[in-house]
Structure 1
Amino acid sequence: MFNDIGPLELVALVVLAVLVFGPDKLPKVIQDVTRTIRKIREFSDSAKQDIRQELGPEFKDFEFEDLNPKTFIRKQMENDELGLKELRNGFDLKKEMAEVTDAVHGRDTDSSASTSSTPSSGSGRGRVDMSKKPETPAAEDRPPFDADAT
Structure 2
Amino acid sequence: MFNDIGALELVTLIVLAVLVFGPDKLPKVIQDVSRTIRKIRDFSESAKQDIRQELGPEFKDFEFEDLNPKTFIRKQLDNDDLGLKEIRNTFDLKKEMAEVADAVHGRDSDSSSSSSPSSSPGSSGGRVEMTKKPESPVADDRPPFDADAT
TM-score by length of 2: 0.72
- Give ranges in structure 2 of 5+ residues lacking alignment: 115-120, 123-128, 139-150
Q: Deviations over 1:81-131 (max 9, x none)?
A: 2221111111111211111221332323337888xxxxxxx76xxxxxx97
Answering whether residue 94 of structure 2 is matched by residue 94 of structure 1, we say yes
d(CA) in 1 for partners of 2:25 and 2:50?
38
Map residues 2-13 of structure 1 onto 2, 5 A cutoff.
2-13=2-13
Identity %: 81
Map residues 33-48 of structure 1 onto 2, 5 A cutoff.
33-48=33-48
d(CA) in 2 for partners of 1:60 and 1:111?
56
Map residues 1-150 of structure 1 onto 2, 5 A cutoff.
1-110=1-110, 133=135
> How many residue pairs align between the two structures?
124
d(CA) in 2 for partners of 1:134 and 1:90?
43
d(CA) in 2 for partners of 1:99 and 1:60?
47
Report the aligned-residue RMSD: 2.6
- Give ranges in structure 1 of 5+ residues lacking alignment: 115-121, 124-129, 137-150
Find the residue that maps to 2:50 and give its secondary structure: helix
d(CA) in 1 for partners of 2:54 and 2:111?
57
